[in-house]
């Protein structure tokens, strides 16, 4: 059976050194009606979320702190909650099965080893395990509260990219290794030009855009429009007949349309 998790995955994705959350940080934000213990070992697990699943730690911590009310459910422990946070974040980039395999590597390895050892793959369905986990209460609740646009989710990365392009535009490369003058190395004019073009594109003020909207009309609105069209046709017929009979044009124009739904005909004043 082919490995879902490739060698080297997941990757550590920190932009800077970070000491992590403390129990005091979490309890300060925890809703007052939630009283669930958080052990020292669990604090380590929380601060290792990004390293375990290859997603920026700061983003996972933000999700963790923003959805703490999920712990109001009696059957959802802090451990269940942390796993759900990781799984929901992974689902934005990976399949159901791969997300589950990254969150539960030991369970995945045990199932894979059983299949590789000759067990019936129909009896040991890894995808079924992943699908079943995706329907657990913790995952469902975290998913419902974590539906954000990618522009919001990856805002920190966007800012990092803009900063990097700005530095490259000014000729500054990565900070290491430093040159003989203890300064960051410089990039070529070509790299500076390309960075300037990319920076201009992602920071450009949005242009005016024409938006075409398709509005679906309900049956009641269509019926009302039909009545209005009939009234207008009746009005035109009355005006034509009045003019043909020799009435004064001013008199012919003194008409109105009754708006009562039970009355459709135009009247002549």
Tens of pLDDT, residues 179-194: 667 777 778 888 888 8
Say what percent of the chain tops pLDDT 70.
Answer: 71
Specify if 10 maps to a domain. no
- Say if residue 229 is in the same domain as residue 194: no
Residue 91 contacts by C-beta under 8 Å, 6 or more apart in sequence?
99, 134, 143
**What phi and psi, each to the nearest 5 degrees, are found at residue 35?**
-130, 80
> What range defines the domain where residue 176 resides?
155-202
Residues 3-61: pLDDT tens digits?
665 544 544 444 445 578 999 999 998 988 888 889 999 999 999 999 998 898 988 99
- Say if residue 140 is in the same domain as residue 73: yes
- Say if residue 137 is in the same domain as residue 195: no
Burial (CB < 10 A; 0-12, 13-18, 19+), residue 116, is exposed
* Residue 13: Cβ within 10 Å count: 15
- Say if residue 105 is in the same domain as residue 132: yes
The total number of structural domains in the chain stands at: 3
- Say if residue 33 is in the same domain as residue 144: yes
Specify if 16 maps to a domain. no
Q: What pTM was computed for the model?
A: 0.52
State residue 196's pLDDT score.
87
Helices (H), 118-247: 126-134, 137-145, 150-153, 155-169, 189-202, 219-244
First to last CA, the chain: 87
- Say if residue 83 is in the same domain as residue 108: yes
- Say if residue 92 is in the same domain as residue 162: no
């Amino acid at each position: 059976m082919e490995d879902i998790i490739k060698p080297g995955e997941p990757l550590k994705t920190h932009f800077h050194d970070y000491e992590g959350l403390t129990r005091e940080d979490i309890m300060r934000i925890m809703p007052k009606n939630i009283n669930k213990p958080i052990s020292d070992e669990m604090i380590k697990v929380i601060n290792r979320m990004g390293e375990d699943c290859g997603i920026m730690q700061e983003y996972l911590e933000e999700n963790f702190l923003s959805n703490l009310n999920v712990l109001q459910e009696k059957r959802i422990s802090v451990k269940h909650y942390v796993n759900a946070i990781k799984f929901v974040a992974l689902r934005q980039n990976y399949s159901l099965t791969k997300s589950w395999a990254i969150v539960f590597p030991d369970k995945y390895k045990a199932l894979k080893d059983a299949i590789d050892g000759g067990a019936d793959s129909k009896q040991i369905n890894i995808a079924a395990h992943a699908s079943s986990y995706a329907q657990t209460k913790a995952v469902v609740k975290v998913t419902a509260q974590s539906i954000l646009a990618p522009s919001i989710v990856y805002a920190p990365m966007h800012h990092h990219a803009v900063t990097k392009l700005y530095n490259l535009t000014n000729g500054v490369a990565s900070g290491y290794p430093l040159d003989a003058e203890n300064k960051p190395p410089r990039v070529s004019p070509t790299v500076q030009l390309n960075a300037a073009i990319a920076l201009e594109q992602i920071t450009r003020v949005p242009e005016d855009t024409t938006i075409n909207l398709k509005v679906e009309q309900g049956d009641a609105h269509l019926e009302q429009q039909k009545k209005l069209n009939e009234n207008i046709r009746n009005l035109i017929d009355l005006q034509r007949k009045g003019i043909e009979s020799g009435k004064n044009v001013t008199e012919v124009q003194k008409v109105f349309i009754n708006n009562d739904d039970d009355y459709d005909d135009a009247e002549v004043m």
